[in-house]
Amino acid sequence: MQITSLRKSVLTASALAVGLTGATAALAEWKPNRPVELVVSAGPGGGSDIFTRVVQAALTKNKLVETPLIVVNKPGGSGSEAFNYAEDNVGSPYKVYFGTQDAYVLPLGTKVNYAMKDLTPVASMVFDVFILWSNPKASGINTAQEFVAKAKENPGKVRVAGAKAKDADETVVTLVERAAGIDLAYIPYKSGSEAAIQVAGGHIEANTNNPSESLEQWKAGNQKPLCVFTSARLTDKTVVADGMSWADIPTCVEAGIDVKDFVQPRTVWMAADVPPEAVAYYTDLMKKAMDTPEFKDYTTRNVQITKFMAGDELKAFLAEQTKNYEKIYADNNWLLPASQ
Amino acid sequence: MGNFGQLMDGFVVALTVHHVMIMVIGVLLGLVVGVLPGLGAPNGVSLLLPLTFTMDPIAAIILLTSMYWGALFGGSTTSILFNIPGEPSSVATTFDGHPMAKRGEAVRALTLAFGSAGFGAMVGVVVITLLSGWVANFALQFGSPEYFAVYFMAFASFIGMAGGSPFKTLVCIMLGLAVGTVGMDTISGEGRLTFGITQLTNGISFLIVVIGLFGIGELLLTIDEGYKFDGVKAKLSLRVILRTLAELPRYWVTLLRSALIGCWMGITPGGPTAASFMSYALGRRFSRRGKYFGKGEPEGIVAPETADHSAGSCALLPMLALGVPGSATAAVMMGGLMIWGLSPGPMLFTTRPDFVWGLIASMYLGNVIAVVLVLATVPIFAWILRAPFTVVGPLIAIVCLIGAYTVSNHMFDIWVALAFGLVGYVFKKLDYPLAPFVLAVVLGDKAEDAFRQSMLSSGGSLSVFFEGSLVATMMGIGILLLSLPLLQIIFAALFRRGDSTDAGQTSRP
C-alpha cells in the first residue's frame, strides 16, 4: 500500500517535472512541427488573399519557417467562413487567420456563427488606405469638389461602385454621404477590381478602392484619384501618371469631404484557447516577415501605411475600432436587431 | 503583324530546355490534380504557388499554366470514365463521354475528348495572339447589363435546346436557381435560404452539387439497373487512338462552332463552364444526329471539350489585360503575378512584353505537350475500367466522398453531396434533365447579381438591356435562341408537310 502510494507520488512528481520543463522549453521555443494553414477570409486574387500570400512568400523565401505554409481561402459569408473555421478549430496552433476589420465588424451587422471570444488577436501589420476614384473621361468628374457638385445636382443618381454590401466600401460611401450632405447610389460588386473595371469602362461614375486595385487603370488614363480618406497626405512622391504622385492626391478633408481617417487594417488572428507561446511565436514571425524585402516591396506597391501592432496596443486599437464601427452601423441602421 | 514578331521573341524565351522541362512537370502534376475531384485546378495551383516564389516569373507562370492545362485534361478523364467531373467545366463532357465509355469505347471517348480539347486550346491561343491588343478595350465595354446578356444567352441556348420536355427543362432551371440562391447575397449582404443552418450561410459549392448529382447519382443508378459496364471489352491498342484521331476532322463543323463559342465566352465574362454547356446545347440543336446526343455521340464529346479549352485559353487574356480573373484558377495565378511583382493590367503588355509573349508562346507548347502526354495515359485509364464493378464501384464512392470533403474540409459537405446523389438518381429516373439544373446553379447567382446591379444603376428601368448596341445584339441573339423551337415548329408547319411525319418519328425516345 505504502509502496504503491510512494511510487505514485514519485510518478506524479516526475510527471510534473517533465511537464514543467516541457512547458518552459515550449515557451522559449515553440515551433510548428507540421504544415501551418494560413486561412484567408477572402477569395483568391483579392486584397486579403494577396496580403496572405505575400506573408507566405516572405516567410518561405527567407527561410523564416521550416514547415510548409498552406494558404486556404474561406471566402463564404463575406469572410465569416474563415472565422467560423477558427471556432471549429479551437486551440489549434497550426492555423493562422488573415483578415481585415471584417473579423470584428462582421458580427455587428450579420448573423455569424462566431463571436469575438472565438478569436485571439495576433497582430495588425499594415493599413490599406481608401481613395475615391472617378472616370474623368466618361463622367467629367476631375476633382472631389466636382464629384460633390454633381451629386448635389443629381441626388441619388451618381453611382459609386465598391466591393460587397455593408463592407468597408459601402461604409465609407455612407460616411461621404453624411459628411457632404449628398445622396449617392452605391452598387456592390464581388470584388474591388471588378468595381474598378466598371468605372474604367465608363459604366459607373466613381468607386472607392485601395490604391493598388485602380493603379493600372490610373496609368492607362481610365481612372483618376479624387481624394484619399486619411488625416494626412500619402508620402510616396514617385510620379505615377499625368505628372501626379500619390502625395499629390488631396485628403478628402482638404477637398471638403469631412471623412478623416478611414483605413483598413490587415490583421492576423488565431483561434481561442491557443497556447500563449504559439501566439508569441507567430507575433514574432509576423514582425520578421515585415522586415523582409518582399514585404517592403508589397507595402510600397500598394501604398500602404506600415504600422505593426500587437499585444495590449492591438487590443486597445481593436476596442476603439469596434466602438467606432458600432456608431457607424447604428447610424446606418445596419446593426443586427438583437444587438441593438 | 507586330504581334507575330513578338510571338517569335516569346518562343525564344519559352523554348529553352529548362522551360520545356517545367512544362512537362507542370502538365503531369496537373493531370494528377485534375483526376481527383475536389482537389481541382484552383487548389492544385495554390498548393504549387509557394514553390514558385524562388523561381523567376516567366518560369513560374509557365509551371502554373502548364499545370492548369494538365488539370483541364485530367478533369475530362474522370468525367468520361466514372461520370465524376473533376472540374466544373467538364460536366458537359459526362453527357456523352460516359455513355460511350460504358459501351466499351473508353479509348475512343478519351481520345476524342483530348483531341478536340487540344484543337480548342490551339484556336484559343491563336485568337489571343491575333487579338491581344484589342481584347482589353473590348472587355472594358462590359458593364452589368452586358454581363447579364452573356448569361442570358447561355440560358436561352438551353431552353431552346431540342429534345426533352420544355416544361421539365424549366422546372430544372428553377430548382437550380433556388440552389444557387442559398447563402450570402452580394447585393444586400444578407443570408438567403439558409434555414438557420450555419453551414449553409456559405452557400452550396458547385463542385459538391456536381459530385453528388453525377458521381453518386450514377452509382445509385448503376446499382439499381444492374451492372452493364462493358469496359472489359475495351480495346487498348494504339490503333484505336490513331483511328479516332483520324476521325476528328469529320466533325469540323462542330469543332469550329464550338471553338468560336469558347473564344467568345472566354473573352467575355462567361467562362469555360458556361461555354461548354452552351456549346453542347447548340451542338445538340444543330447536329444532324442531335437526337442521339446523351447516348454516347462523338459530337456530344467534341462540342463541350473544344469550347471548354478554347474558353480556358482565352480567359487568360482578360486576366492579364484587366486584372479580372475569369476563373478560380486564373484568380490564384493572378495572385501569383502580384507576388512576383507584376501587376496585371493594361500596362503589362507594354512594360513586360517578354513576360506576356513568353507566356503566350508557352501556351502553344504547353498544349502540344499536354495532348501528347495525356494521349499516352489513355491506355492506363482505360485499363482501370477493366476492373470488375465490385472494385470500381466502391472506388468511385470513396473518390466522391473525399472529393466532397476536400472542397472546404467540412463534414457537412459530404451529407450535401449524398443528398444531391439522391436528387440526381430521382431526376434520372423521372427523366428530368440534369444539364439545365447544373447550368442554373453555376450561372444563376452571377446572372442575378448582374441583373440587380443593372437595375440599381439604371434606377429600375429594363430598357438598359436594349440601349447599347453590344447589349442589344446579345439580348437579341438570346431571344432568338429562346424562340428557336417555336420558330422551327412554325416553319415546319408552313413548308413541307413531309417534315412533320419525320418530326413525329424523332420525338419518340
Q: At which of A196, A216, A248 does a domain end?
A: A248
Percent of chain A exceeding pLDDT 70 equals 90
Whether A27 maps to a domain, the answer reads no
Whether A113 maps to a domain, the answer reads yes
Q: Which residues contact B116 (CB under 8 A, 6 or more apart)?
A: B248, B251, B255, B258, B301, B302, B305, B306
Q: Are residues A144 and A234 in the same domain?
A: yes
Beginning with the edge strand found earlier in the chain, give each strand of the sheet holding A36-40 in spatial order.
Answer: A69-73, A36-40, A95-99, A263-271, A119-129, A305-309
Q: Are residues A214 and A135 in the same domain?
A: yes
Whether A148 maps to a domain, the answer reads yes
Say what the pLDDT of residue A4 is: 44
Residue A218 vs residues A3, A134, A241, A300: alpha-carbon distances, Å:
83, 10, 7, 17
What's the mean pLDDT when you consider all of chain B? 83
Q: Are residues A307 and A323 in the same domain?
A: yes
Q: Which residues 147-206 in chain B show a CB within 8 A of chain A?
A: 183-191, 198, 201-203
- Chain B residue with Cα closest to A113: B198
Q: Are residues A139 and A101 in the same domain?
A: no
In contact, A208 and A116? CB cutoff 8 Å = no
B32 touches chain A (CB under 8 A): no
B252 exposure class (CB count in 10 Å sphere: 0-12, 13-18, 19+): exposed
Q: Convert the pLDDT of each residue in A30-42 to its tens digit.
A: 899 999 999 999 8
Query: If you search the block for the grid coordinates 460611401, which residue do you land on?
Result: A173
Q: Are residues A70 and A50 in the same domain?
A: yes
Dihedral sign computed on CA atoms, order B293, B298, B301, B302: negative
β-pair partners for A161: A187, A207
CB < 8 Å to A198, chain B: 143-144
Percent of chain B exceeding pLDDT 90 equals 20
Whether A291 maps to a domain, the answer reads yes
Pick B347's closest partner by Cβ from A198, A200, A219.
A219
In contact, A239 and A233? CB cutoff 8 Å = no
Residue A54 vs residues A45, A297, A302, B339: alpha-carbon distances, Å:
12, 10, 12, 6
Q: Averaged over B386-403, what is the pLDDT?
A: 82
Q: Does the beta-carbon distance from A45 to B201 stay under 8 Å?
A: no
Phi, psi of B47 (to 5 degrees): -70, -35
Whether A14 maps to a domain, the answer reads no
C-alpha cell at B211: 459530385
Q: Are residues A111 and A147 in the same domain?
A: no
Q: Are residues A95 and A155 in the same domain?
A: no
Closest CA to B318 of B303, B306, B308, B333: B333
Domain locations along chain B = 2-507
- Give the angle subtended at the CA of B325 by the CAs of B308 and B353, to the nearest 5°: 100
Say what the pLDDT of residue B509 is: 38
Say what the pLDDT of residue B160 is: 66
Residue B324 vs residues A74, A236, B315, B330, B496: alpha-carbon distances, Å:
19, 26, 10, 9, 50
> Domain total for chain A?
2
pLDDT band per the 50, 70, 90 thresholds, residue B233:
low
pLDDT at B374 over 90: no
Taking the CB of residue A335, how many other CB atoms lie within 10 A of it?
A: 16
CB < 8 Å to B344, chain A: 216
> Which range is least confidently modeled, A4-13, B122-131, B286-295?
A4-13
C-alpha cell at A280: 508569441
Closest CA to B262 of B249, B271, B251, B253: B271
CA–CA gap between residue B174 and residue B450 (Å, rounded): 18
Q: Does the beta-carbon distance from B183 to A216 stay under 8 Å?
A: no
In contact, B37 and B400? CB cutoff 8 Å = yes
B351 touches chain A (CB under 8 A): no
Containing structural domain, residue A197: 131-248
DSSP letters, A266-296, are EEEEEETT--HHHHHHHHHHHHHHHTSHHHH
Q: At which of A248, A283, A316 does a domain end?
A: A248
C-alpha cell at B81: 470514365
Whats the size of chain B, residue-wise?
Answer: 509
Q: Convert the pLDDT of each residue in B423-456 to its tens digit.
A: 999 998 998 888 889 888 888 888 999 999 999 9
pLDDT band per the 50, 70, 90 thresholds, residue B415:
very high
Q: Are residues A160 and A244 in the same domain?
A: yes
Whether A4 maps to a domain, the answer reads no
DSSP β-ladder status, A239-241 and A224-228: unpaired
In contact, B144 and B457? CB cutoff 8 Å = yes
Closest CA to A189 of A169, A171, A215, A205: A169
In contact, B473 and B479? CB cutoff 8 Å = no
- Give the angle subtended at the CA of B364 by the CAs of B362 and B366, to the nearest 5°: 60
CA–CA gap between residue B332 and residue A42 (Å, rounded): 12
Q: Which residues 37-76 in chain B show a CB within 8 A of chain A?
A: 42, 46-47, 49-50, 53-54
Whether A178 maps to a domain, the answer reads yes
CA–CA gap between residue B330 and residue A243 (Å, rounded): 33
C-alpha cell at B22: 517545367
- Chain B residue with Cα closest to A79: B202
Q: Convert the pLDDT of each residue in A212-245 to its tens digit.
A: 888 888 988 899 999 999 999 999 888 888 889 9
Taking phi over 0 as left and psi of -120 to 50 as alpha, with beta for the rest, B345 belongs to: left
Q: Averaged over B182-195, what is the pLDDT?
A: 83
CATH number at residue A107: 3.40.190.150
Rg of chain A, C-alpha, whole Å:
23
Q: How confident is the prediction along chain A (340 residues), in pLDDT tens digits per residue?
A: 344 444 444 444 444 444 444 444 445 578 999 999 999 998 776 778 889 999 999 998 899 999 989 888 887 777 888 998 899 899 999 999 999 998 999 888 877 888 999 999 999 999 999 999 999 999 999 999 999 999 999 999 999 999 888 888 999 999 999 999 999 999 999 888 888 889 998 999 999 988 888 888 898 889 999 999 999 999 988 888 888 999 999 999 999 999 988 999 999 999 999 999 999 999 999 999 999 999 998 998 889 999 999 999 999 999 999 999 999 999 998 888 764 3
Q: At which of A187, A214, A248 does a domain end?
A: A248
Q: Are residues A90 and A141 in the same domain?
A: no
Q: Are residues A121 and A153 in the same domain?
A: no
Pick A188's closest partner by Cβ from B186, B328, B335.
B186
- Which among B64, B342, B408 is the top mutation candidate for probing chain A, defined by the most A β-carbons within 10 Å of its own β-carbon? B408
B38 min Cα distance to partner chain A (Å): 14
CB < 8 Å to B139, chain A: 197
C-alpha cell at A297: 516591396
DSSP β-ladder status, A206-209 and A131-134: antiparallel
Q: Are residues A280 and A317 in the same domain?
A: yes
CB < 8 Å to B141, chain A: 201
CA–CA gap between residue A227 and residue A143 (Å, rounded): 8
Q: Are residues A43 and A148 in the same domain?
A: no
Whether A240 maps to a domain, the answer reads yes
C-alpha cell at B27: 502538365
In contact, B315 and B266? CB cutoff 8 Å = yes
Query: If you search the block for the grid coordinates 497550426, which residue do you land on?
Result: A94
CATH number at residue A185: 3.40.190.10
CA–CA gap between residue A169 and residue A163 (Å, rounded): 6
User: DSSP H helical segments within B385-433, as ranges?
Assistant: 389-408, 411-429
C-alpha cell at A167: 463592407
